[in-house]
Amino acid sequence: TRPKVFVTRAGLPEAGLKLLQDECDVDIWEKTNPIPKSELMARIKNVDGVLCLLTDKIDDEVLNAAGSKLKVIATMSVGVDHLDLKAIKSRNIPIGYTPGVLTDATAELTMALLLATSRRLIEANRAIYKGEWVSWSPTWMTGGKLSGSNIGIVGLGRIGLRVAEYLKGFGVAKILYTSRTEKPTATAIGAVHVDLDTLLRTSDFVIVTTALVPETKELFRKETFEKMKNTAIFINVSRGEVVHQPSLIEALKNNKIRAAGLDVMTPEPIPLDSELLKLDNCVITPHLGSASIETRAEMCVISAKNVLAVLHNKPGEMPAKYNY
């Protein structure tokens, strides 16, 4: 009999889905919104594998509902903070994820946010439609620039490193970074490993690319923003929970920092009455880091292959197994 696989969302790229459907009985949540937990618990029962997204919380309760046949969890994301790693590990279930293939796309979106915030693209674009473009004016809509600036990358991994590489082409002055260990690949391009306080006090742009883990939850809070330059621009492309959002809003409102560019926030989607949406100095994108067409297709293919490798009893052949 064919293995059973549950896919938690409709509308996944075809290429990956087909790989699964060729070999497995695939059940798919039919809607394009996140599956409610109760539905997930019902549909995951007795499956051999699950392909999930970052919007699906897989915890002890869900794992209990799945039962003992569950052999693999493949998330179509690089982040694994939605997975209860302890509960999954205690059941010896391998996790597949999608690092690497989304590095370029996410680093490109990071560049878009850096440029949009420093050169006030969204604010300036809106000004045209509001009839505020009176004339070319010497200081109207002027902002910062990347060239000659100090960059700080918090939690430098693959994505942070790629951003650093791109920024070299912009002629930045210094690239500082934090990470648990010094990275030879970063040192090789002249980036300097520093402590967080040094990074915060020195940087004109503070870019967050860290994973969300207990040590990085609300790493950015009142005291953190206070250490930053009041001309600094804050960019977050990791997870909203890395930031204590009310403190960020307060810092933006009171010009304790100049601007923020956020691809992630809390909650997602952001409610339309959120203070964040009222700020001219905040550029928001709806969690689109990996959202290039090719990247999303590759993520789906890798996720399918992660599932299939385990169902073939060859976990060693998973294209991307998460080590935990």
Give the interface with ligand GLV as residue ranges (CB under 6 A).
54, 77-79, 99, 102-103, 157-160, 209, 289-290
Nearest approach, Cβ of 15 to ligand GLV (angstroms)?
Answer: 18
Nearest to 186 by CA among 194, 109, 173: 194
Smaller CB separation from ligand GLV, 77 or 285? 77
Q: How far apart are CB 99 and ligand GLV at their closest, in Å?
A: 4
Alpha-helical segments (H) within 120-207: 121-129, 158-168, 184-188, 196-202
Other residues' Cβ atoms within 10 Å of the Cβ of residue 212: 19
- Residue 287 annotated as catalytic: yes
Smallest separation, CB 217 to ligand GLV (Å): 16
Q: CA distances (Å), 15 to each of 2, 28, 46, 102, in order? A: 20, 15, 25, 17
**Minimal distance, residue 314 CB to ligand GLV, in Å:** 24
Between residues 168 and 253, which has the closer beta carbon with respect to ligand GLV?
Answer: 168
Side chain identity at residue 136, one-letter code: W
Q: Is 263 helix (H, G, I), strand (E, B) or coil?
A: coil
**Least separation, in Å, of the C-beta of 278 and ligand GLV?**
25
Give the containing element (helix H, strand E) for 323.
Answer: none
Phi, psi of 40 (to 5 degrees): -60, -45
Closest CA relative to residue 176, chosen from 153, 197, 196: 153
Which residue, 8 or 209, is less far from ligand GLV as judged by CB? 209
CA distance 146 to 119: 10
- By beta-carbon proximity to ligand GLV, the closer residue of 4 and 321 is 321
Nearer to ligand GLV, 64 or 185 (CB): 185
The active-site residue out of 82, 193, 244, 287 is 287
Residues annotated as part of the active site = 287
